[in-house]
Structure 1
Amino acid sequence: MDNPEMQRFLQQEQQKAMLGEMVGKLTSVCWDKCITSTPGSKFSSGETTCLTNCAQRYLDMSVLIAKRFEMQ
């Protein structure tokens, strides 16, 4: 493809798809780990803390893995 605009567009769409996939995995993993019963109208403070920590660790590891692949 010689069209730089099209390449940029395709790259942006690929990044959106990857982000959507990451959010889906993050939601699934952290939900399974942190939510132990059917939630009511609110999460408990323990569930909220667990979800926050889980999401942060997941994102930190994703960044670390991405940086590792950039170096190779």
Structure 2
Amino acid sequence: MSESFDPATKKELETFLEQQQAHARFNQSVHHFTDMCWDKCITGTPSTRFSRSEESCLTNCVERFLDTSLFMVRKIEEQREQRIA
């Protein structure tokens, strides 16, 4: 079926698929760290508010996850640039 598309349409479809895959990976990461941080930080029965320690733990957990993710992205970009150069 894709053989019937012109090059511009093929490129547009490839770009769309890449964007959708990136969106799916992002959502998967959000679900992963939500589950991980919830299991680590929420020790009691949830109510209308988190306790101070739960709130602090959740904040720290999410920030560490984001720090680690940004670090990994930078390292991958550096490696890719080194291969190109």
| TM-score normalised to structure 2 length | 0.76
> CA-atom RMSD, angstroms?
1.4
**Equivalence for 2:36:** 29
**Equivalence for 2:16:** 9
1:2-34 per-position Cα deviation (integer Å, ceiling 9, x unaligned):
422111101110111001110111111101111
Which one of the candidate residues 33, 50, 57 is aligned to 1:50? 57
Shift of 1:60: 0.8
Report runs of 4+ in structure 1 exceeding 3 Å deviation: none
C-alpha distance in 1, partners of 2:67/2:14? 28
1:31-55 per-position Cα deviation (integer Å, ceiling 9, x unaligned):
1111111111111121111101110
Give identity over the alignment, percent.
43
**Equivalence for 1:67:** 74
Unaligned runs of 5+ in 2: 80-85
**Higher relative contact order, structure no. (Cα contacts within 8 Å, ≥ 6 residues apart):** 1
Shift of 1:68: 1.2
Greater mean deviation of Cα atoms: 12-21 or 61-70: 61-70
Q: Which entry has the higher C-alpha Rg, 1 or 2?
A: 2
